[in-house]
């Protein structure tokens, strides 16, 4: 009995130490010498694979600045490990400690903030649909009786599902595991349209075989502020990471990083998205915020 109690006590101590380490990311990475960055494979130009299968993009560059700040805070050089995440598993993998921050194209909203935290917003986009120019589609209501695809685990699929029910649009909504798979369904005619953040749609169209075949709706269904995700209830790590992003936003560095990914040719095909910085993003840069309220970005 005494041995069983002793084993139980050791187990509780181990669980407590593990929970403490997870709640204090700075202590965790200082001890291990490793920081794990969650990234995407097809969120162009934010977080995706280049032609050498390396994770690159706007969000990856910003996260690199966070890693540098964390290294200064813990007083040691860190090994950076990269972990591929999806729209469906990115929050669970962050919450359980598999990744220490998620560097992708993740919308900041109130529901998600119940589970995780965000650094200051680094991009502002909108939920729109992409379709083939000869399809006769211009807006969501034109999809009555047709198939609309969106990516599983995103705010986009939830929103179009709610709009479909509220407005009795009669759209067949299906999910795909990733952005590339969803866009392929439109390319091959298995779906009439794909609902996603307009900047991601622009990247997919620009890198497609026939960019001229596609059109992105002028109808915007929502405002979507993007932010880097970190674990909730970890104020010390968030404070260091917040300041790292604010330092970027307060200098010309943000302009250089933005130009690199939105106004210059990017890998793997050397396509220039040629998307000037929006008024909403300029406003956010001038007054950094991690608010999930869309009105803050309008």
The predicted-structure confidence for 116-133, as pLDDT tens digits, reads as follows: 999 999 999 999 999 999
Q: How many CB atoms are closer than 10 A to CB 39?
A: 26
**Are 116 and 234 members of one domain?**
yes
**Are 163 and 274 members of one domain?**
no
**Are 133 and 249 members of one domain?**
no
**223, 238, 259 — which closes off a domain?**
223
Long-range contacts at 22-26 (CB < 8 A, ≥ 24 apart)? 22/96, 22/97, 22/231, 23/231, 23/233, 23/234, 24/234, 24/236, 24/237, 25/100, 25/230, 25/231, 25/234, 25/236, 25/237, 26/70, 26/73, 26/74, 26/236, 26/237, 26/240
**Are 191 and 253 members of one domain?**
no
What confidence tens digit (pLDDT) does each residue in 64-101 have?
A: 999 999 999 999 999 999 999 999 999 999 999 999 99
Q: What is the pLDDT of residue 21?
A: 53
**Are 217 and 248 members of one domain?**
no
Q: What is the pLDDT of residue 23?
A: 75
**Are 96 and 83 members of one domain?**
yes
**Are 27 and 94 members of one domain?**
yes
Q: What is the pLDDT of residue 205?
A: 96
pLDDT (mean) for 41-60: 96
What confidence tens digit (pLDDT) does each residue in 201-245 have?
A: 999 999 999 999 999 999 999 999 999 999 999 999 999 999 999
**223, 248, 282 — which closes off a domain?**
223
Query: What CATH number does the domain containing 187 carry?
Result: 3.40.190.10
**Are 44 and 157 members of one domain?**
no
**223, 253, 288 — which closes off a domain?**
223
**Residue 14 binned pLDDT confidence (cut-offs 50, 70, 90):** very low
**Are 17 and 108 members of one domain?**
yes
Range of the domain at 245: 2-122+227-297
With a pLDDT cut of 70, the percent of the chain lying above it is 93
């Amino acid at each position: 009995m005494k041995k069983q109690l002793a084993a139980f006590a050791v187990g509780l101590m181990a669980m407590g130490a593990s929970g403490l380490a997870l709640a204090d990311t700075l202590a965790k990475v200082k001890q291990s010498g490793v920081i794990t960055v969650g990234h995407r494979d097809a969120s162009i130009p934010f977080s995706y694979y280049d032609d050498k299968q390396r994770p690159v993009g706007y969000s990856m560059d910003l996260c690199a600045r966070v890693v540098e700040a964390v290294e200064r805070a813990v007083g040691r050089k860190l090994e950076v490990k990269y972990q591929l995440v999806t729209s469906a598993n990115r929050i669970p993998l962050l919450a359980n400690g598999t990744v220490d921050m998620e560097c992708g194209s993740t919308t900041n909203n109130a529901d998600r903030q119940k589970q995780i935290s965000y650094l200051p917003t680094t991009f502002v986009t909108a939920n729109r649909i992409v379709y083939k120019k000869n399809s006769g589609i211009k807006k969501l209501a034109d999809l009555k009786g047709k198939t609309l695809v969106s990516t599983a685990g995103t705010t986009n699929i939830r929103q179009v599902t709610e709009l479909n029910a509220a407005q009795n649009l009669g759209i067949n909504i299906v999910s795909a595991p990733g952005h590339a798979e969803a866009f392929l369904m439109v390319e091959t005619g298995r779906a009439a349209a794909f609902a996603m953040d307009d900047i991601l749609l622009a990247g997919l169209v620009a890198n497609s075989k026939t960019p001229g075949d596609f059109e992105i709706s002028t109808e915007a269904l929502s405002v979507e502020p993007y932010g880097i995700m970190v674990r909730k209830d970890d104020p010390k790590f968030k404070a260091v990471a917040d300041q790292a992003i604010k330092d970027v936003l307060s200098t010309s560095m943000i302009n250089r990083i933005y130009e690199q990914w939105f106004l210059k040719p990017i890998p793997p095909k050397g396509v220039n998205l040629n998307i000037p910085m929006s008024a909403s993003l300029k406003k956010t840069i001038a007054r950094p915020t991690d608010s999930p309220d869309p009105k803050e970005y309008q």
